[in-house]
A and B are shown apart, each in its own frame.
Chain A
């Protein structure tokens, strides 16, 4: 290798090194939000059990304190509470598991329907009856304490077969 070629390669190598050195933090700062771990659920009080009637789902708003970058604010989410029997509840995250539209209760069909692409879910177990949703409605962990219903609100990745918390 001649002197000229050597200097050329050396300059290219130094350039590549410097480039990689500077690119790491710059690209890293951009990519980091995508590598964050899932946030844990929030336990929320949905009120006294008396207001839930057997066989008639009722929607409830859930207010979460969410940290959104440099803004900490209240985010509102929706759940559907289904009382199946006296002491048997299911609480669904209202987001359609297809792509996230909020499902609505259709009493005439006894089913939850997504307003967006025809997703239909069964009331008592959330199983997909029709449409593109890849998994049943997401049932949320819940408990009854002193006559009040609590739900552990959690969001999940949409559009995929598995229930992955985000």
Chain B
């Protein structure tokens, strides 16, 4: 029965090829845990998206209600503090893991030909991850959120020539207030996710297209004809 449904679908969509390309692709010899950080970043992104969606079901992006709604999530919603905690710690873990992933790519030199575009999309993804952190930090609308955003937006204000414009653009005015909160919320929950998901699609497409890079220790062995080193 399942087989029949499966082959019916496959004949019309070719899903099995997609499945094959993603999960049955060849991986070079000698790949180790250093190559898992990208996948960890993706797992964390998914977790952030899920916990974020469920936080949004009890959150109100208005100056009158934001703080109270966050207190409500923390103190009254069943498992609310856990969902909020997952999102809170997940955001920090995301930054750590993405930086680790970038460091691995950098030190192993796998950003080189033909993977430069993978790297470039990665650079934008890093900026987007930081954008999530910056915009999300304002949403609880407590003192820390307010002052962190005051400092952060003032930094944008120091940019030569366009600083004042940037500052007003981010804040939606001269002050941090209702418009700023609505903007940060829209960035955090609509704009950045849309950009990040699209770019992750490109990033992953390129990873699949090029295949995972051959680790330098295997590469060295292959080019010098050297026999097994300590690793494999």
Chain A interface residues toward B at CB < 8 A:
22, 24-32, 35, 69-71
Inter-chain contact B79/A70, CB cutoff 8 Å = no
Q: Which of B58, B82, B83, B86 sits near A69, CB closer than 8 Å?
A: B58
Contacts of B69 in A (CB 8 A): 69-70
Contacts of A25 in B (CB 8 A): 79, 82-83, 86
Q: Which of A26, A70, A71 sits near B54, CB closer than 8 Å?
A: A26
Q: Complex: how many Å from CA A30 to CA B51?
A: 11
Counting CB contacts under 8 A, is B78 at the interface? yes
Contacts of B73 in A (CB 8 A): 29
* Closest chain A residue, CB of each to CB of B84: A29
Q: Complex: how many Å from CA A127 to CA B175?
A: 60
Q: Complex: how many Å from CA A156 to CA B217?
A: 72
Counting CB contacts under 8 A, is B144 at the interface? no
A37 CB → nearest B CB, Å: 13
Inter-chain contact B77/A29, CB cutoff 8 Å = yes
Contacts of A30 in B (CB 8 A): 54, 57
Inter-chain contact A24/B79, CB cutoff 8 Å = yes
Counting CB contacts under 8 A, is B80 at the interface? yes
Contacts of A70 in B (CB 8 A): 58, 60, 65, 68-69, 71-72
Instruction: Say whether chain A's binding surface is mostly helix, strand, loop, or mixed.
Output: helix
Q: Complex: how many Å from CA A24 to CA B73?
A: 16
Q: Complex: how many Å from CA A100 to CA B57?
A: 25
* Closest chain A residue, CB of each to CB of B53: A26
A38 CB → nearest B CB, Å: 17
Q: Complex: how many Å from CA A35 to CA B86?
A: 23
Inter-chain contact A69/B47, CB cutoff 8 Å = no
Counting CB contacts under 8 A, is B34 at the interface? no
Inter-chain contact A29/B79, CB cutoff 8 Å = yes
Contacts of B21 in A (CB 8 A): none
* Closest chain B residue, CB of each to CB of A27: B54
Inter-chain contact B58/A29, CB cutoff 8 Å = yes
Counting CB contacts under 8 A, is B50 at the interface? yes
B83 CB → nearest A CB, Å: 5
Contacts of B79 in A (CB 8 A): 24-26, 28-29, 32
Inter-chain contact B83/A26, CB cutoff 8 Å = yes
B60 CB → nearest A CB, Å: 7
Binary CB contact string for chain B from 41 to 77 against chain A (1 if under 8 A, 0 otherwise): 0000001001100100110100001001101110001
Q: Which 10 A-B pairs have the closest CB atoms?
A: A32-B78, A25-B79, A70-B72, A70-B68, A25-B82, A28-B79, A70-B69, A29-B79, A29-B83, A29-B77
Q: Complex: how many Å from CA A28 to CA B68?
A: 21
A76 CB → nearest B CB, Å: 21
Contacts of B51 in A (CB 8 A): 26
23 residue pairs from A and B, CB less than 8 Å apart: A24-B79, A25-B79, A25-B82, A25-B83, A25-B86, A26-B51, A26-B79, A27-B54, A29-B77, A29-B78, A29-B79, A29-B80, A30-B57, A32-B78, A32-B79, A69-B58, A69-B72, A70-B60, A70-B65, A70-B68, A70-B69, A70-B72, A71-B65
* Closest chain A residue, CB of each to CB of B65: A70
Contacts of A71 in B (CB 8 A): 65, 68
Contacts of A24 in B (CB 8 A): 79
Q: Complex: how many Å from CA A24 to CA B78?
A: 11
B86 CB → nearest A CB, Å: 7
Contacts of B71 in A (CB 8 A): 70
Contacts of B82 in A (CB 8 A): 25, 29
Q: Complex: how many Å from CA A70 to CA B47?
A: 25
* Closest chain B residue, CB of each to CB of A35: B78
B62 CB → nearest A CB, Å: 11
